[in-house]
Structure 1
């Protein structure tokens, strides 16, 4: 096993618990449109799939593309204005990041979230200056599960894929890490639906709490 010197995280559902703010934005949109709000438990497993999936969850009966586009745009406006109200680091994540830094290792983020949301969120949560790289969904031509954003993260963090470990809570995260030649970890604490079979994702490890990753390093 190659020596790990860089730890890379997916953002939503892995590094930061953004579900409360993303769910709140959807429920505000539903109320604006005259619909009943959804329970947090119903929304949470869909958060990692982004705004399009959340709008589809909230308005499953809609088929008109222009209406869907309007709702998605409005959803993003609401979310941008309430980006980091209730979002926090997952339990154990502060300890993990401090361990990584204490060991003089590097860490960063690779997410499909667009940069105009990722960057201010990382700033507001207080991590932007500490990350060796922040790769968003629009940082490269291809998004996860394509390995291109993973390679860019390596370049910016001055590392190599075989020296990186990538943690995520979606199948595309694990696929992206595998495609790039990285070791991979499933964040079981993230936004994983009970219908998903994570043992089929092909990850090297899985953890129930963020600080369990310390033992893998």
Structure 2
């Protein structure tokens, strides 16, 4: 890592990195599957696909050969239910609340860059009382393109008033790491997140792999000790 790197802002992916949304998303998926006469799915079977969105969760649950219009109907039912139950069981990953407090105490900014649609991101951030604390909130439809495109990353920097080279982006999917690298941000791969079978985060090119949120302040502290 370059010794002249000066950190100004810590950016997080939302689902699977900042907060554990799996319980509410999977509950909504299973509600939709049952409504359309499909078997429900075990949480452990579908959790790894959450970072890739509701459509992928539905496809993995019913099979890729299921009629596309039926998949779309299941997805709509799932998302409508989810929007009405956005934070029933969603919570910070262990250690994340303390990590945010440490980041803020050090005078650093933090924000969110997610592919989750604004209709879900904004009420979730409000429910968790994070909106006023975040320096930026960029959803999947805030810009014309979503991650791994550079556009949402640059929009986050614009909102936060920082340069990409002053940021670290933390995510649990390869498109997160690619998005950060595309704009020369430092990147951390969250191993505690929603990794898919066959994922090899050690090959994604992240600056570091973190097994828990508690390791984020340690990584930040290492920058000041160089």
TM over 0.5: yes
* Structure 2 SS opposite 1:68: helix
1:192 paired residue number: 195
Partner of residue 41 from structure 2, selected from 38, 47, 52: 38
Shift of 1:190: 0.2
* Partners of 1:14 and 1:190 within 8 A in 2: yes
Q: Which runs of 5+ in 2 are unaligned?
A: 221-226
Partner deviation per Cα, 1:49-82 (whole Å, 9 max, x = no partner): 1111011012115443322222211111011111
**Does residue 13 of structure 2 align to residue 10 of structure 1?**
yes
* Structure 2 SS opposite 1:45: helix
Partner of residue 169 from structure 2, selected from 166, 170, 174: 166
1:93 paired residue number: 96
The equivalences for 1:44-83 within 5 A come to 44-60=47-63, 62-83=65-86
1:121 paired residue number: 124
CA–CA separation in structure 1 for the residues paired with 2:50 and 2:68: 21
The equivalences for 1:121-140 within 5 A come to 121-140=124-143
CA–CA separation in structure 2 for the residues paired with 1:61 and 1:193: 17
* Partners of 1:110 and 1:136 within 8 A in 2: yes
Name the CA shift for 1:138/1:61 in 2 (closer, same or farther; >3 Å).
closer
* Partners of 2:117 and 2:140 within 8 A in 1: yes
TM-score by length of structure 1 reads 0.97
Judge which range, 68-77 or 6-15, deviates more. 68-77
Q: Which runs of 5+ in 1 are unaligned?
A: none
Shift of 1:126: 1.1
Shift of 1:103: 0.7
What root-mean-square deviation, in Å, do the aligned CA atoms of Structure 1 and Structure 2 show?
Answer: 1.0
CA–CA separation in structure 2 for the residues paired with 1:97 and 1:182: 19
